[in-house]
Structure 1
Amino acid sequence: MPGKRLDEEERQLIAQWLWDGLGYSEIGRRLQRPASTIQREVVRNGGHNNYRPGAAHRAASDRAMRRMPAVDDLDVDEEVYAFDRRPGEVQEFHLQLVAVFVQTGLTRTAARILAEIFMTDKGSLTATELVLRLSISPGTVSRSTAYLQQLDLLRAERDGKRMRYYLDDDVWYRAWLSSAERNSTWAHTALNGAEIFGLDTPVGARLKDMGQFFAFVVVDMESTQRKWLDFFEKKKRARADAAAR
């Protein structure tokens, strides 16, 4: 089964388990498939209450005959099974990664998109692939990826007629750098305010404490920045040397 599309027997089981009231995660666990695969299969073929396995299988066969891998025949299971990965563990980590991204302040849809791209070995997906993998609208993809680009967590490039979204090797450094710039702004603004209100006033003292805190954070982050840039350059040179051999 690894790397293969759903077959007719699996679709019959999906229909039965939906009738029994099982959720996508449990069905995926029983079939050793990602929950996202089950959800996409059901949504694409009538939804939870109208899923018909025979019609779904015929529709999938028709799509395969048309050979449109970029849209209708997209197989997103291959990477789940690559390198002897265990689908159940991959699925569990996927949910965990989304939850962590949400806890750090991302919207749930943005978190799902970021996690989906993170869990592809090539580190990129087109807008069409995101629509199919996550069962969301093109407009939702457009809005959420624009939000992630504003946070320096994604890079977008035109790939033919489609937009492709990438993760760069230094994605976390660039996101962290944006945070460092915000901290610097906080420090400068607070210390300026302290001077305006007067250092010997309650407001001025409060602003001074705030400014000194963020100034301390900025100094610490600048030290971390230098260490990371040195480490990252060494890593890039090592990869280039290994590729040249």
Structure 2
Amino acid sequence: MPGGRLTLDERRAIEAGIAEDLGYAQIARQIERPTSTVTREVVRNGGARGYRAEHAQTATHDRARRHGVDRADVAEASEVSALQPELDAFTDLLVATGLPRTASRVLVALYTTESSNLTARDLVAGLGVSAASISKAVGFLEAGGLVQRDVDAGTRRERYGLGDDIWEQSWAASRRANELWAIGAAELAGRYPESSRVRRRFEEAAEFFERLSRQMAGGPGPAVEPGLAETLKALARGGAPLTASQLEAALTPQQRRVLAGDSARS
């Protein structure tokens, strides 16, 4: 099989294969390239619906110019993103916070494609998992407000993408989940006698989630206030715990003015 960067003719063949609804493996055999090469090419350049040969060719040359190197004679495998270790680490971080691994991989895949939306076939081929796993992962992310599901009017295929207000939607979904926790716990608490320890546990859970839901009702809070940011910087520079006078001494005159302005506004 040939090595090096994909040619424009090969990219046109990929675009034609997608239009004919061919699988990535079949397209790869036609142009005598590894399936992974075709999969990476399509996912990197807009997914199955958004892939255009000329655009992909231009984007590849642009990437090469930005990196200041000529990759014409470099094997396709060497074009794998240098950020992959960091992306894998970020995926592991999402898993550590409680997100299922496949859902984490789907979210990272959507975040790192320029079009920010992919089909199930794109994800199956790119992640090497089953269609059922993708469907389950997308359902989990959709329930959390992290992914939006649309249907392509032309092909009737589902496309999964990131909305412009993804984090606002996620926040709202989290608040709704807390409300349901509070309602469910309160209902169960009422089923037990007042003297029951089980009742008290459910009451505590209901109180906690009801309070959390109220606190989230106003939406995500603003960024850290400038004065607070300056205070935190001073604390970080101090290393050890500081008294009020030591903190004031650690601040620059400009930082003191910022803090004074924040105090006046409050």
1:94 pairs, out of 63, 87, 100, with 87
User: Which residue matches 1:164?
Assistant: 159
1:117 equivalent in alignment to 2:110: yes
Distance in 2, matches of 1:171 and 1:205, equals: 37
Distance in 2, matches of 1:132 and 1:106, equals: 21
Deviation, structure 1 residue 123: 1.0
2:99 pairs, out of 86, 95, 106, with 106
- Count how many residue pairs are aligned between Structure 1 and Structure 2: 172
Distance in 2, matches of 1:117 and 1:127, equals: 11
Contact 1:148 1:154 in 2 (8 A): yes
Structure 2's unaligned 5+ residue stretches are: 19-23, 28-37, 46-58, 68-78, 223-266
2:139 pairs, out of 146, 162, 179, with 146
1:191 equivalent in alignment to 2:186: yes
Distance in 1, matches of 2:170 and 2:85, equals: 26
User: Which residue matches 2:13?
Assistant: 67
Q: Which amino acid aligns with 1:114?
A: L
Shift in CA distance, 144/192, structure 1 to aligned 2, threshold 3 Å: closer
Q: Secondary structure at the match of 1:125?
A: strand
Distance in 2, matches of 1:168 and 1:116, equals: 14
Deviation, structure 1 residue 84: 4.2
Shift in CA distance, 196/132, structure 1 to aligned 2, threshold 3 Å: closer
Contact 2:178 2:212 in 1 (8 A): yes
What pairs up with 1:18-57 in 2 under 5 angstroms? none
User: Which residue matches 2:198?
Assistant: 203
Deviation, structure 1 residue 92: 2.2
Q: Secondary structure at the match of 2:217?
A: helix
Contact 1:199 1:208 in 2 (8 A): no
Structure 1's unaligned 5+ residue stretches are: 1-5, 11-59, 229-245
Q: Which amino acid aligns with 2:141?
A: L
User: Which residue matches 2:260?
Assistant: none
User: Which residue matches 1:135?
Assistant: 128
Q: Secondary structure at the match of 2:159?
A: strand
Deviation, structure 1 residue 110: 2.1
Distance in 2, matches of 1:9 and 1:188, equals: 60
Shift in CA distance, 139/213, structure 1 to aligned 2, threshold 3 Å: closer
Deviation, structure 1 residue 168: 0.4
1:221 equivalent in alignment to 2:216: yes
Contact 2:44 2:114 in 1 (8 A): no
Q: Secondary structure at the match of 2:14?
A: coil
Distance in 2, matches of 1:170 and 1:227, equals: 15
Q: Which amino acid aligns with 2:86?
A: F
**Between Structure 1 and Structure 2, whose CA radius of gyration is higher?**
2
Distance in 1, matches of 2:181 and 2:131, equals: 36
Distance in 1, matches of 2:180 and 2:87, equals: 35
Percent identity of paired positions between Structure 1 and Structure 2:
26
